[in-house]
Amino acid sequence: MLDFATETAYLAGRSTLAYFRTGVEPEIKADNTPVTVADRTSEEIVRRRIETAFPRHALVGEEFGANDQPKATHRWFIDPIDGTKSFIHGVPLYSVLLGLEVEGQMEVGVAYFPALDEMICAARGEGCWWNGRRAHVSAVARLSDAVVCFTDPLSFERTGRGQAWQRLQRATYYRAGWSDAYGYCLVATGRAEVALDPLMAPWDSAPFPAILAEAGGYFGDWTGNSTIYSGDGLGTTSSLLSQVLKALK
């Protein structure tokens, strides 16, 4: 499953490069977020490959929704371009995200960054891999020495999390807006210690429970529950988790 997921994310990601930095015009969806032909093409590639290889698996994609497999034990989550705003502005931090849930547990996760040609992936019990090398979280032990990644600072205020965000900022060393999925990749590879968003859909989150766990860290919600369904997201190291949760509370 991990091999299939990495190949699928790679192929979908490479397709996006045909549109990257070409001036492609976005459409604005009902939730006021952009979508482009690159998003739809990428998701079509992923869906076609899953439906061909695993016709009994369920799947949920950001752009085309869920298929009709209510009794499936395996469910794929697809974000064909995470960071569409970065994509349409020519910023190379966007990614293709793919996660596999088996009987309620996130077992496989892949995040591929086509413009950077970076792949991070994991399966439970198989380790976390970054461009073919084992990935590990940082050894930083104090929150006051930690680097924090985030997407949009105003999103914390809009979701009623402004005070929690202020506390975390004051408790940490450096706040860097390395955004969307790339922040969680940075945590899993030891280049940052915390990444968080106050609003995340399951397809935004799906790869990271497996990736962070296998790298020695944590991905889940802001209360310490390892889930993709709470509507927010937090990635950090195991050693810093309690300090981060305390700051957020």
* Range list of H helices, the chain: 2-16, 37-53, 84-88, 153-158, 162-171, 181-188, 202-205, 208-214, 241-248
Instruction: Report the pLDDT value the prediction gives residue 88, as an integer from 0 to 100.
Output: 97
Q: Where are the domains of the chain?
A: 2-134, 143-248
> What would the CATH number be for the domain defined by 2-134?
3.30.540.10
Nearest-10 crossing angle of helices 2-16, 37-53: 150
Q: Is the separation of the CB atoms in 81 and 88 below 8 Å? A: no
Stated as kind and residue range, the H or E segment containing 133 is strand 133-134
Q: Strands 58-61 and 174-176: what pairing?
A: unpaired
DSSP 148-207: EE-S-HHHHHHTT-HHHHHHHHHHSSEEE---THHHHHHHHTTS-SEEEES---HHHHTT
For residue 182, give both structure tokens.
């790339």
Q: What is the pLDDT of residue 97?
A: 98
Chunked into runs of 10 residues, the chain (249 residues) has average pLDDT values of 98 98 95 96 98 97 94 97 97 98 98 98 98 98 98 96 98 95 98 98 98 98 97 98 97
CATH class of 143-248: alpha beta
pLDDT of the residue at 70? 87
Check residue 68 and give its pLDDT: 87
Give pTM, 2 decimals. 0.97
Give the integer Cα–Cα distance in Å for 48 and 130. Answer: 26
**How far is 24 from 38, CA to CA, in rounded Å?**
9
Count of C-beta atoms within a 10 Å radius of residue 205:
30
